[in-house]
Amino acid sequence: MLWIEKYRPQKFNEFVGQEHIVKRVKAFVEQENLPHQLYAGSAGIGKSTLALIVARTLFGEGWKQNFLELNASDSRGIDVIRNEVKDFARTRSINTRIPKIIFLDEADALTREAQQALRRTMETYSNTVRFILSCNFISKIIDPIQSRCAVFKFKPMTKEQLTVIVKDIEKKEKLKIEKKAFDAIYEISAGDVRRAENILQSCASVNKNINYELIYEIVSAAQPKEIKEILDVAIKGDFITARKKLLTTMLKHSMSGLEIIKQIQKEIWNLNIEDQTKVHLIDKCGEIEFRMVEGSDEFVQLEALLANFIRK
């Protein structure tokens, strides 16, 4: 069983982080007076989990009969609103007077036409259904929908909050995680609980004693010290050695150019150079990443970036 399901919180008091949001949502649920809601924030920070907790708390054992979950990125067009959503919305709740709940995950993937149809559906069936929408980018949700929802903006998980979750899993799964490994998990997951739990599960299948090196091996990422070593050599003016080390690191960890440039960008701030130079190099990282996304040769662009470190 995937740990992301095994350790998904089932109740409000099990939810870690987002206290300001959980408190408000819990108040709506206790009053059984739920408005349409819009959850916005990055991936893996509890949006879907909170929607499921709301449904379970409101409807109890029969929550699945009164709850419809759809991933809008699977069906982006207007048909999903006209068919699946309307069919579910037009009937009343089973064994309760509380309106049904439709949870639209990744709602920012819906086309504008689909969002306009959704807006009309939210108005037409307001007596029988409530909508919970989740999105990564709230700017992609049209204003008429935003104005009909109570908007909750989720914050990224802090290191302390993620550590609480990881330590709970460590205890329940009888793992042994070294101190530096906690830092690595947070660094790689960037506060994404889903990714952190997947990393832990992958590591645990190899070894119950989880260390810093194992984590970077499992995720096929270069350790920060490897990237810093490449950049330090480049700054000293040894382009050939820096280029060779860069290629060796990419091949060793099977990394793409986009993956390694993100790590380079993070390590620039740890270099022993002037702040103005760091700003210039960060700017070059952005330019090189854009060229890669547009289809330029990755290694040629990375060589160009190394050249900028030497010309600093």
Specify which residues 105 forms β-bridges with: 71
Residue of 129, 122, 142 whose CA lies nearest to 34: 129
The domain defined by 18-153 carries CATH number 3.40.50.720: no
**Record: fold of 159-218:** Helicase, Ruva Protein; domain 3 (1.10.8)
Residue of 169, 139, 118, 163 whose CA lies nearest to 2: 169
pLDDT at position 85: 79
pLDDT in tens, 120-171: 888 888 888 999 999 999 999 999 999 999 999 998 888 888 888 889 888 8
Q: How far apart are CA 3 and CA 197, in angstroms?
A: 6
Length of the chain, in residues: 312
pLDDT in tens, 104-113: 888 888 888 8
Mean pLDDT, range 32-60, rounded to an integer: 90
pLDDT at position 270: 86
pLDDT at position 312: 61
The dotted CATH code for 224-310 is 1.20.272.10
Decide whether 18-153 matches 224-310 in CATH topology: no
Q: Domain ranges for the chain, please list them.
A: 18-153, 159-218, 224-310
Compute the mean pLDDT over every residue in the chain, rounded to the nearest whole number. Answer: 87
